[in-house]
Chains A and B, each alone.
Chain A
Amino acid sequence: MSGGNPTYPSFSVIERGLEPEKTRRARKVRMVRPDQGETTGQAVDDKDKRKLFGEVFLPHLVQAYRLARWLTGNAADAEDVVQEASLRAFRGIAGFGGINARAWALSVVRNTAYTWLLKNRSAAVVFTEDLDGAEQQRLERPAAEGEGAGTPESLLLAKADAEEVRGAIAALPAPFREVIVLRELHELNYRDIAEITNAPIGTVMSRLSRARAMLIAALRNTP
C-alpha cells in the first residue's frame, strides 16, 4: 500500500440474466469497485439489492465491527465505519462476485475504515511500512538472540497480560496490524487476507512475519 492511498480490489459482477441491450451497461457495472457502485442500482433492483445485502453483508456484522474496532482504535469510530461500510456494500452489492462473502464484506469494511481515518483522523494513523531506526534495531534483535539458550522468549512472553497484548497490537503500523488481526483474530487464511488487503500473498507473509517479530520484541521488553 502506498502513502495513504488505499487501493481497491476488483470483483466481477454476478451474471443475472441481463438482456442483450443491457450488456453495455452491464460491462460498465462490472468495472465498478465494490464500494463505489452508485450506478449498480440500475442492474439490480432495490428488492434484490436488499436481499443480496442481507445474505452477503449482514451475516458478517460481528466480524465487520471487530475489524473496524481494531483498525480505528475505538468503539464509536468503529460503529461509524461499519455504518458507512454497510452503505457502500449496499450500493455496490452487485459487484460481489458470489464467491467469498466474508472476504468481500471485510474488504469493504477495511477500505471504508482507511478512507474514514484519512478524512477524520489523518494525524493519528501510520500507513507507512517504513520503520524508524529504533524500531528497526528492536526488530533485528530477536533473530540474533533467538538461538541463545539463556533467555527463553516463551517464558518472558507468557507474562504479558491481555491489556499489554492489546496495546502492542494497537501500536503496530496499519499494514502490519491489519494482517495480524485478520490472521490471528479472524482466523483467515493467506488467500483471504491477500484479497481483503489487496496485496500479493508474498507481501501478506512478509508483513505477518514482521508484525509477529515486532509483537515479540514489544512484549519481551515489558518489565
Chain B
Amino acid sequence: MSPSTLDHDDGLLQAHLDGELDPASAAAFEQRLAADPGLRARYESLLSLRRLLLAVPRDDVPVDRLRSRIDAAVERKAGGHRSWRALAAGVLIGAVLGAAGTIALVRSDSGREASSLVVTNHIRGLLAPQPFDIASSDRHEIKPWFTSRLPESPQIVDLGGDGFSLLGGRVDVLGEQPVATVVYRHGGHTISLTTLRGSRTVSGGSIAGYNVRTWREGEFTYVAVADLPDADLDRFQRAFLAGLSR
C-alpha cells in the first residue's frame, strides 16, 4: 500500500467492512472475496482487528460530576451576560412573584411530568418506522449496544416464555438525560420499558390512552408504557421481576 493513496481493493475492503457499500456493490464484492484467498485473508485480518477493538472496555463516565461542572459553567456564562438593569428588574419581579412561585412549585407534580415524558417517548417510538433503534431479540446483543451509548446498560430480561417477546432497544431523552428503553411485544401491542437510575417519583395510571406502570427494584426505577389493560402490565411487571432473579 502506498503511503498516501488508497488502492481500489483496499477502499472496497474498508467500505465493505464499514457497511458503506450499496447492496449491489456489496454482493459483487462478496463474490470476489469468496473467489480470492488473498483478498479474503486481508478481510479476515480487518475483521479480527474489529473484534479486538470492540472488546476494549468503554471508559466509565462521571456523568453527575460533569453535569454539575457544566451547569455551573453555563450558569456563570449566562449570568455574566446580563446587564445590571436586567438584573435589577429580575430582583424586583422575583420579589413580587416569589410567593406565587412557591405555591406553583409545590403544586407542580414532577412525578406526573416524568410519566407523561415517558408516554411521549413511547408515542414517538410508535410513530417512527420502528419503535427501536436496534432490532434484536437477543439480550446479549442489546446490552453492548446500550453500553456503547450510555454510562451503563439497563437490565435486559428475556420474557419470551411469558408471552412478552423482546423486540429491541432505543435511547430516549427524559428532561436532558438520555435513558435506556427496552421494547417488548405482547399480542400485537408494543411495550416500552424505560429504566431510570436511582429512586425516582414517577406516577402510574393512564395518560393519553396509554397505561403507565412503575416500580422500583434495586438501584433502578422502571417505567412500563403500553396500550394494554392494567392486568397485563401487572403480569409484565411480575414476569420481569421473576426474570431478573433467574
Determine the chain A residues whose CB is within 8 A of the CB of B54 once the complex forms. Answer: 184
In Å, the complex CA distance between A158 and B53 comes to 11
- CB of A180 within 8 A of CB of B53, answer yes
Determine the chain A residues whose CB is within 8 A of the CB of B61 once the complex forms. Answer: 61-62, 65-66
Question: A61-B61, A62-B178, A189-B20 given as contacts; is B45 within 8 A of A146 (CB)?
Answer: yes
Determine the chain A residues whose CB is within 8 A of the CB of B82 once the complex forms. Answer: 46
Residue of B nearest to A207 (CB): B6
Say yes or no: is A118 at the interface (Cβ < 8 Å to chain B): no
- CB of A209 within 8 A of CB of B14, answer yes
Q: Which among B14, B50, B67, B177 is the interface contact of A205 at CB below 8 angstroms?
A: B14
Residue of B nearest to A86 (CB): B70
Residue of B nearest to A208 (CB): B14
CB distance from B159 to the nearest CB of A (A): 27
Q: Which among A50, A59, A162, A206 is the interface contact of B57 at CB below 8 angstroms?
A: A162
- CB of A153 within 8 A of CB of B45, answer yes
Q: Which among A46, A61, A136, A146 is the interface contact of B66 at CB below 8 angstroms?
A: A61
What is the interface of chain A mostly: helix, strand, loop, or mixed? helix
Determine the chain B residues whose CB is within 8 A of the CB of A4 once the complex forms. Answer: none
Say yes or no: is B1 at the interface (Cβ < 8 Å to chain A): yes
- CB of A157 within 8 A of CB of B59, answer no
Determine the chain A residues whose CB is within 8 A of the CB of B11 once the complex forms. Answer: 205, 209
Say yes or no: is B102 at the interface (Cβ < 8 Å to chain A): no
Residue of A nearest to B36 (CB): A147
Stretch from B73-81, B189-197, B202-210 contacting the other chain = B73-81
- CB of A205 within 8 A of CB of B6, answer yes
Say yes or no: is B15 at the interface (Cβ < 8 Å to chain A): yes
CB distance from B77 to the nearest CB of A (A): 6
Q: Which among B41, B58, B74 is the interface contact of A66 at CB below 8 angstroms?
A: B58
Most buried by A among B47, B148, B176: B176
Say yes or no: is B42 at the interface (Cβ < 8 Å to chain A): yes
Say yes or no: is B52 at the interface (Cβ < 8 Å to chain A): yes
CB distance from A25 to the nearest CB of B (A): 16
Determine the chain B residues whose CB is within 8 A of the CB of A97 once the complex forms. Answer: none
Within 8 A of B (CB), among A152-202: 152-154, 157-158, 160, 162, 165-166, 169, 180, 183-187, 189-190, 202
In Å, the complex CA distance between A61 and B67 comes to 8
Determine the chain A residues whose CB is within 8 A of the CB of B47 once the complex forms. Answer: 154
In Å, the complex CA distance between A202 and B8 comes to 12
CB distance from A29 to the nearest CB of B (A): 16
CB distance from B2 to the nearest CB of A (A): 9
Within 8 A of A (CB), among B54-113: 54-59, 61-63, 65-67, 69-70, 73-74, 77-78, 81-82
Residue of B nearest to A193 (CB): B18
- CB of A140 within 8 A of CB of B74, answer no
Say yes or no: is B5 at the interface (Cβ < 8 Å to chain A): yes
Most buried by B among A49, A62, A82, A140: A62
Q: Which among A41, A86, A190, A216 is the interface contact of B74 at CB below 8 angstroms?
A: A86
CB distance from B147 to the nearest CB of A (A): 10
Residue of B nearest to A166 (CB): B56
Question: A79-B62, A142-B45 given as contacts; is B81 within 8 A of A41 (CB)?
Answer: yes
Say yes or no: is B46 at the interface (Cβ < 8 Å to chain A): yes
In Å, the complex CA distance between A166 and B58 comes to 10
In Å, the complex CA distance between A91 and B81 comes to 11
- CB of A66 within 8 A of CB of B65, answer no
Question: A54-B176, A190-B18 given as contacts; is B58 within 8 A of A157 (CB)?
Answer: no
Determine the chain A residues whose CB is within 8 A of the CB of B59 once the complex forms. Answer: 65-66, 69, 75
Query: Which residues of A are in contact with B by a Cβ distance under 8 Å?
Result: 41, 46, 49-50, 53-55, 58-63, 65-66, 69, 75, 79, 82-83, 86-87, 90-91, 131, 136, 139-140, 142-143, 146-147, 149, 152-154, 157-158, 160, 162, 165-166, 169, 180, 183-187, 189-190, 202, 205-206, 208-210, 212-213, 215-216, 219
Listed A/B pairs (16) with beta-carbon separation below 8 Å = A50-B78, A55-B176, A59-B176, A60-B178, A75-B59, A83-B73, A87-B77, A142-B45, A166-B56, A185-B53, A185-B56, A185-B148, A189-B20, A212-B46, A216-B49, A219-B52
- 10 smallest CB-CB distances across A and B, nearest first, come from A147-B38, A154-B48, A153-B45, A206-B6, A54-B176, A184-B53, A86-B70, A58-B176, A157-B48, A65-B61
